């Protein structure tokens, strides 16, 4: 793990029995450290998003989500849409793949800060954007979309649209989820919540397309919770929202 | 509600359809405000803890806890003990009443700061302590134990013991629950967690009494989550724990 990782993430990983190697935070340092571990232990490299197995594995969350909706509503309701955060795009492309043929529409959500919405911009411009430099508070989503995820996400029959939200919208959505649902999420997880609640484009789309009752059942993926109370203190010690 | 109530608590209450009257924070101001609402609307007063119906109602959480343990372990495990926070004592005496005859031992937990452990001290001294002035961060537990709860809690066949924890232990337990379980609790809810993890007296008791496998299944009541990210920022913006 890069040395800047959240202490609670490192502690949790060790707590589950893993041996954690710490390295520098740049891509070069990380790749070098991975190479060394593989050379020393014969370990298998598991990429974070740009691999078909990772994409398919992440996509299984959508199957669980459908199952949970069925169970919680005794089969009376179904999802109309699912929205996930989009960083490297592994989860978004996996969910989109899982939902093929189901009629469930799939959306992504990104931070707009300092061009962090590379996926949304790429879809508008019709080309894959591969370099992004943003210091958005949604630090899990600073990565540009990977090559394989892009082949799925750029197919509008699989991913309908990707929405961008501001830093302030992320903070507000996060505050709502933490204080009212009592689920401790990191800023990245609040990004699709912010899109559903505050994005004007999403609101208009639902108004236009919602069926006879004017309601859409939207599954929102909260991923993840790797943050600390000290990090939250920095985000929320300013003026009241 | 007193004007110092957590904004998210007021917002949540209104969100569920309630009409919220705001009053001053002292006991006198609160009683006067309640009197006025009753006069105006004919409403029924529901006391926070010192009433037999409240005690019995809170006690039903212990029945749910037993049921959940049964379901989660397919009937293979049972509770050895339950520990709850203790402020006015309604929940603790209710849980103790529900567990009569089950063999499940019941414990309470309090903050020690500025004498906030009135219940524990009262049990040691063999008398009901009715006045407490503490500004512990566990603000839900600043109240002294009520008269009716005391009749249950002071019976050692019903409540085995009450443990006190420090402010720093409360902060550490809270950090652990929020960051690792991802449940956003208020400091009061972390008090029984702190007792289980850090109280020496509790540790020795378990060592002495745990059965053949040396393990106790302890149900810990997390109550509640009425706090804000700004309040957390104040608690955790100091030096790292």
Mean pLDDT for the stretch of residues A82-86: 98
A181-193: pLDDT as tens digits: 999 999 999 999 9
Higher pLDDT, B28 or B51: B51
For tokens 């043929």, name the residue.
A101
Considering only CA atoms, which of A8, A77, A213 is closest in space to residue B182? A8
Q: DSSP strand E in chain A: where?
A: 81-85, 105-111, 161-165, 218-220
Distance between CA atoms of A22 and A217, rounded to whole angstroms? 42
Percent of chain B at pLDDT > 90 equals 83
Asked if the Cβ–Cβ distance from B232 to A230 is below 8 Å, we say no
Distance between CA atoms of B241 and B169, rounded to whole angstroms? 10
- Residues facing residue B108 across a β-bridge: B84, B162
Mean pLDDT for the stretch of residues B50-76: 96
Q: Which chain B residues contact residue A179 at CB under 8 A?
A: 8, 184, 227-229
Contact B174, B180 (CB under 8 A): no
Q: Which chain A residues contact residue B235 at CB under 8 A?
A: 229, 233
Mean pLDDT for the stretch of residues B42-55: 94
The band of A147, judged by pLDDT with boundaries at 50, 70 and 90, is: very high
Higher pLDDT, A220 or A215: A220
Contact A39, A79 (CB under 8 A): no
Distance between CA atoms of B195 and B219, rounded to whole angstroms? 12
Q: Which chain A residues contact residue B182 at CB under 8 A?
A: 183-185, 225
Strongest mean pLDDT among A19-28, A44-53, A229-238, B208-217 = A44-53
> Which stretch of DSSP H or E encloses residue B162?
strand B161-165
Output the six-digit token pair for B27.
């006991």
DSSP structure class, residue A121: H
Answer yes or no: is pLDDT of A240 > 60.
no
Classify burial at B102, counting beta carbons within 10 Å of its beta carbon; exposed 0-12, middle 13-18, buried 19 or more. Answer: middle
- Residues facing residue A183 across a β-bridge: B183
β-pair type (A105-111, B81-85) = unpaired
pLDDT recorded at residue B241:
46
B160-215: pLDDT as tens digits: 999 999 999 999 999 999 999 999 999 999 999 999 999 999 999 999 988 777 78
CA distances from A109 to A54, A163, A239, B98 (A): 19, 5, 26, 48
Is the Cβ of B236 closer than 8 Å to some Cβ of chain A? yes
* Min distance B28 CA to chain A CA atoms (Å): 30
* Min distance B20 CA to chain A CA atoms (Å): 17
The beta-carbon neighbor of A184 closest among B15, B178, B228 is B178
Mutate to test the interface with B, among A175, A233, A240 (most CBs of B within 10 A): A233
Distance between CA atoms of B29 and B25, rounded to whole angstroms? 7
pLDDT recorded at residue B225:
93
Mutate to test the interface with B, among A180, A183, A184 (most CBs of B within 10 A): A184
Is the Cβ of A5 closer than 8 Å to some Cβ of chain B? no
Structure ipTM: 0.90
Asked if the Cβ–Cβ distance from B183 to A180 is below 8 Å, we say no
pLDDT recorded at residue A241:
46
**Which DSSP string corresponds to A35-74?**
HHHHHHH-PPP--SSSSHHHHHHHHHHHHHHHHHHHHHTT
Considering only CA atoms, which of B215, B120, B209 is closest in space to residue B164? B120
Considering only CA atoms, which of A183, A187, A184 is closest in space to residue A171? A187
Handedness of CA B17, B23, B26, B28 (dihedral sign): negative
Handedness of CA A126, A131, A137, A141 (dihedral sign): positive
The band of B239, judged by pLDDT with boundaries at 50, 70 and 90, is: low
């Amino acid at each position: 793990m890069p040395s800047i990782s959240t202490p609670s993430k490192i502690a949790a990983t060790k707590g589950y029995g893993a041996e954690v190697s710490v390295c520098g935070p740049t891509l070069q340092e990380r790749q070098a450290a991975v190479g060394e571990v593989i050379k020393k232990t014969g370990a298998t490299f598991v990429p974070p998003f740009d691999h078909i197995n990772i994409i398919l594995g992440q996509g299984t969350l959508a199957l669980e989500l459908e199952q949970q909706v069925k169970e919680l509503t005794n089969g009376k309701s179904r999802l109309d849409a699912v929205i996930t955060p989009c960083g490297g795009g592994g989860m978004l492309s996996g969910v989109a793949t899982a939902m093929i043929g189901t009629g469930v529409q799939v959306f992504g959500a990104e931070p707009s800060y300092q061009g962090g919405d590379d996926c949304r911009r790429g879809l508008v411009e019709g080309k894959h954007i591969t370099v992004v430099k943003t210091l958005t508070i949604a630090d899990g989503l600073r990565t540009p979309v990977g090559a394989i995820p892009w082949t799925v996400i750029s197919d509008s029959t699989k991913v309908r649209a990707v929405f961008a939200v501001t830093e302030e919208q992320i903070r507000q959505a996060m505050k709502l989820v933490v204080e009212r649902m009592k689920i401790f999420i990191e800023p990245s997880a609040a990004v699709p919540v912010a899109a559903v609640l505050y994005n004007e484009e999403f609101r208009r789309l639902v108004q236009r397309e919602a069926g006879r009752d004017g309601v859409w059942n939207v599954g929102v993926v909260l991923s993840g919770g790797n943050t600390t109370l000290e990090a939250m203190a920095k985000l929320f010690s300013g003026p009241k929202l």
